[in-house]
Structure formats: C-alpha cells, structure tokens
Amino acid sequence: MRLHWGVGIAATYLVFAGATAGFVAFAMQQRVELVRPDYYTYSLAHDARRRAEARTAALGTRFYIDVDERGRTVAVTWPREHAGRIHGTAWLYRPSDSSADRQLAIAPGPDGRQTFRLNGLAGRWIVRLAWTVDGADYVAERDLVAR
C-alpha cells in the first residue's frame, strides 16, 4: 500500500501542531515566580542601586556582615559614626518561595552592631540590607544557607 505525499505532509504538520499545543498546555500550568512582586519597577532603579553598592564598598572593613556556621544568626556591623543615623530595612529573600520572604527593621545599637536571629528558617536565603545615612543610600547583600 502506497501513501500519497500529501498525506505525509499533513501527518507531519499534525504531529508538529499537536506537540506545540501540548507544550503550550504544559507551560501554562507552570508556576512563574519572580523574586519580587515589583520586579519590573525595581529593575528601573538599577543605576541608583549601583551607586549605593559603591558607597557601601567604600566603607571597606568598617561595614561587614557575619553569618554563623549554621546560618542561624546574622550579625551586621556598621561604622560607629553612622550608628545613630541609620534608617533602613533588612529583607530575607527565599529564592525558591517568595511567599516565605521576611522584612526586618534595621536598628543598630550605639556600637553600630545589630544581630538578626533567623530561627525557623532552612535552606538558601539572601539577606539584602538597604539603609540611608544623612540622605545617602547604601545597599549590601549576602547569601546564606540556614541549617
């Protein structure tokens, strides 16, 4: 039995169209999760973030983030001369589940140190600090794995 060449072309087209429709159905059922709900607005402020990161880098060793070996405590040290003038927020991002994100207030003591306890957290997290001192923005970020 011989098939006409038009039947072969039609069968090839139907297989391609069916595979495309199957992939589209599969893709529509996948959960799409951005790191932030305001992802696009956040990306527009890229240059300002870079300047804030450069300001933070200019602080050198006077600013540092220390994470304990189990990832349960984050200790942040700011320059002592900034201690009373810091206003900002610490965000804990969970890259695999944005619904678990947390936001904490930055309030260092007179010695310029603040400790964040991360009880109840497990897995990979990103600690992002954003603060201002006398109108100048600063930003720092650190990955951690809580066990």
State residue 2's pLDDT score. Answer: 81
Q: Shortest CA distance to 65 belongs to which of 145, 144, 7?
A: 144
Q: Shortest CA distance to 33 belongs to which of 102, 93, 120, 89?
A: 93
Spatial distance between the Cα atoms of 107 and 113, rounded to a whole number of angstroms:
9
State residue 140's pLDDT score. Answer: 95
Question: CA dihedral in degrees (56, 58, 61, 66; nearest 10)?
Answer: 20
State residue 118's pLDDT score. Answer: 83
Q: What string of pLDDT tens digits covers the 147 residues of the chain?
A: 787 899 999 999 999 999 999 999 999 998 877 667 777 787 888 889 999 999 999 999 999 999 888 778 899 999 989 988 999 999 998 888 878 888 999 999 999 999 998 878 888 889 999 999 999 999 999 998 887
CATH of 49-146, picked from 2.170.130.10, 2.40.10.10, 3.30.465.10, 2.60.40.3080, is 2.60.40.3080
Residue whose pair of structure tokens reads 């990955």 in the numeric block: 143
Task: Please state the domain extents for the chain.
Answer: 49-146
Burial of 113 (0-12, 13-18, 19+ CB in 10 A): middle
In the chain, the amino acid numbered 30 is Q
Spatial distance between the Cα atoms of 46 and 35, rounded to a whole number of angstroms:
15
